[in-house]
Structure 1
């Protein structure tokens, strides 16, 4: 498997995972379907770690990986290295 096909597969898998992270972290605002008071929501929920770090910042490398996995670009090392850099940035920001 060439690097273009591999990065394309990873990019396709990363989209639903990022959407699941965004939805699950939005649901933290409404536990058991109840609307909480502002003082009852913890600081970790207010900091948007899951929405920004695991969601939005994970979509950026997914776009880069899909772009690097275009037709006939097995030797696209620059695109793949940018994908790795973006993935590391997303990993660093989500932790």
Structure 2
């Protein structure tokens, strides 16, 4: 049985259906300058170690509420402050 070429969709036939290639607009953001700024920010914080903690679902909302009511912008900031205060207290 011969194949019907009209119903056979191959790569050549599909490529005609794709939109024409469009050149992307370049933004005014200088990538090298941005990278330097990001590196400078990270270098002032010292060496970092990633710590991942899974929190029970029922604790997540109270943590976020406490974080915001205490004036912390991020959960990271709040947790680090808790850890620092606990460590200082333990050294007394």
**Higher Cα Rg, which structure:** 2
Shorter chain as denominator, the TM-score bin is under 0.3
Query: Which structure features the higher share of helix residues?
Result: 1
**Length-normalised TM-score, structure 1:** 0.23
